[in-house]
Amino acid sequence: MVPLALQQQLVEIRRHLHQYPELSLQEYETTSYIQEKLQQYGITLRDTSLATGVFADIIGQSGPIIAVRADIDALPITEATQLPYASKIAGKMHACGHDFHTAALLGAAQLLQQKRLEMQGTVRLIFQPAEELGGGAAQVIADGQLRDVKAIIGLHNKPDLAVGTVGIKAGALMAAVDAFKITITGKGSHAAIPQAGTDVIVTAAQLITQLQTIVSRNVSPLQSAVVSVTAIHGGATWNVLPEQVTLEGTIRTFDEHVRQKVKARFYQLTESLTTMHHQQSAIIWQECPPALHNHASLAQKSMQVATQQNLTVIEPEPTMGGEDFAQYLRHIPGIFTFFGTGGTEEWHHPKFTIDETALAPAAYYLYESALQILINLKKGDL
């Protein structure tokens, strides 16, 4: 039975955070708020060189160190929920539920602090900045916050799962993310005299079509990849062929070999097609988080914890969405769980909401998972 007092407290925390969202690397007030809460709980803050983000240790008995992570940043979205606790900051919104994650981890922190004398090790709390930019986890790692940590736990709200349902899956859960920008430069001309120039609009149209063959003819049907062109910019009027067009988009993959193969083919197609049309291409490639692969043993332990909490455990379908929690998993084993919040809209929607009755169960899930993983690490079972 979830204590009513904890549930009410977490609702209050979440609603405060929801009303004052801050974008990636601008989470100054959020950082101060979290620090204040942890100090109220008597938890030791860790030193950091980062301007935003909070790190703390709950020190138990001699034993391993594990980490539990929540992300704290919001999005540049204008909220349209009409809730009484809607964002008070114009053009900014917690439209991905990071306020939920933060509140849940603060709840777990209280529970762990109360249990610290019995804990079989130390739990490091990571309130991570800049998940939405995709670089926050790398900054946390560079700051030394993962030093000596043996395993890490995280979760993400899932609006299409009912409250009381968790999605736990060993192996690939979320995709690697790459972003691209192509600039095609040719020779502009009058639209009525196309032979006097090199038409970059035609080249861009052909390239968009050709890029789709990367997946259909270069990736095995038994594997997954997505190539999406999401923005086109070129031309300013109806009777002029422009000299330049830009295309932007994203590529998603689960397997690192497929990721590199898709990238190589992307460059080949772009360069060969623009050369054929006597044009030049410049590609800006941004490598974002890798694919998120859950550790099999930790996934099994998390399923046991969830079952003991009377949560319904399902194996979720992998998603092409990206998550920079994957950066931590390049260094240490970990488990990332989807936690049902019964919303009506998906992530990043201006009417995104969560069912707040999921807050306390999420806090207990993080708390119990941390305790169990510490026990198993100390026994050498993981």
Q: Residue 89 is encoded by which pair of tokens?
A: 């900051």
- Rounded to 5 degrees, what are φ and ψ at 309? -85, 5
CB atoms within 10 A of CB 164: 17
Q: Does the annotation flag 348 for ligand binding?
A: yes
- Measured CA to CA, the distance from residue 14 to residue 106 in angstroms comes to 10
What is the topology classification, in CATH, of domain 176-287? Answer: Alpha-Beta Plaits (3.30.70)
User: What pLDDT was estimated at residue 152?
Assistant: 98
| pLDDT tens, position by position, 332-357 | 999 999 999 999 999 999 999 999 99
pTM: 0.93
CB atoms within 10 A of CB 372: 18
| pLDDT reading at 190 higher than 70 | yes
| pLDDT tens, position by position, 111-127 | 999 999 999 999 999 99
Share of the chain above pLDDT 70, in %: 99
Helix (H) or strand (E) holding 172: strand 171-174
Using alpha carbons, select from 45, 157, 176, 140 the residue that is nearest to residue 95. Answer: 157
How large is the greatest C-alpha to C-alpha distance in the chain, in angstroms? 81
- Measured CA to CA, the distance from residue 61 to residue 78 in angstroms comes to 46
Answer whether 4-173+291-379 and 176-287 agree in fold.
no
Q: Does the annotation flag 331 for ligand binding?
A: no
One of 3.40.630.10, 3.40.47.10, 3.30.1390.10, 1.10.10.1100 is the CATH number of 4-173+291-379, namely: 3.40.630.10
User: What pLDDT was estimated at residue 10?
Assistant: 98
- Contact, 110 vs 98, CB < 8 A? no
Q: Are strands 65-71 and 149-158 parallel, antiparallel or unpaired?
A: parallel
Dihedral of the CA atoms 367, 369, 373, 376 (nearest 10)? Answer: 110
Q: What is the mean pLDDT of residues 93-110?
A: 98
Q: Does the annotation flag 98 for ligand binding?
A: yes
Q: What is the mean pLDDT of residues 23-52?
A: 98
Q: Does the annotation flag 132 for ligand binding?
A: yes
Is residue 167 helix, strand or coil? strand
Q: HSE-up of 189 (CA within 13 Å, CB side)?
A: 13
- Measured CA to CA, the distance from residue 60 to residue 121 in angstroms comes to 5
| pLDDT reading at 369 higher than 80 | yes
The residue extents of the domains of the chain are 4-173+291-379, 176-287
User: What pLDDT was estimated at residue 2?
Assistant: 65
CB atoms within 10 A of CB 103: 28
Q: Does the annotation flag 256 for ligand binding?
A: no
Report how far apart, in Å, the C-alpha atoms of 139 and of each of 54, 176, 206, 279 are. Answer: 12, 18, 39, 39
User: What pLDDT was estimated at residue 4?
Assistant: 81
Q: How confident is the model at residue 3 (pLDDT cuts 50, 70, 90)?
A: confident
| pLDDT tens, position by position, 134-163 | 899 999 999 999 999 999 999 999 999 999
Dihedral of the CA atoms 19, 23, 24, 28 (nearest 10)? Answer: -60
- Contact, 157 vs 97, CB < 8 A? yes
Helix and strand element counts for the chain (H, E):
10, 16
User: What pLDDT was estimated at residue 1?
Assistant: 57
Q: How confident is the model at residue 378 (pLDDT cuts 50, 70, 90)?
A: confident
Share of the chain above pLDDT 90, in %: 97
| pLDDT tens, position by position, 243-298 | 999 999 999 999 999 999 999 999 999 999 999 999 999 999 999 999 999 999 99
Q: Residue 292 is encoded by which pair of tokens?
A: 């998120």
| pLDDT tens, position by position, 77-99 | 999 999 999 999 999 999 999 99
R_g of the chain computed on alpha carbons: 23
Q: How confident is the model at residue 210 (pLDDT cuts 50, 70, 90)?
A: very high
Q: Are strands 312-314 and 240-241 parallel, antiparallel or unpaired?
A: unpaired
Mean pLDDT of the chain: 96
| pLDDT reading at 46 higher than 90 | yes
- Measured CA to CA, the distance from residue 382 to residue 373 in angstroms comes to 8
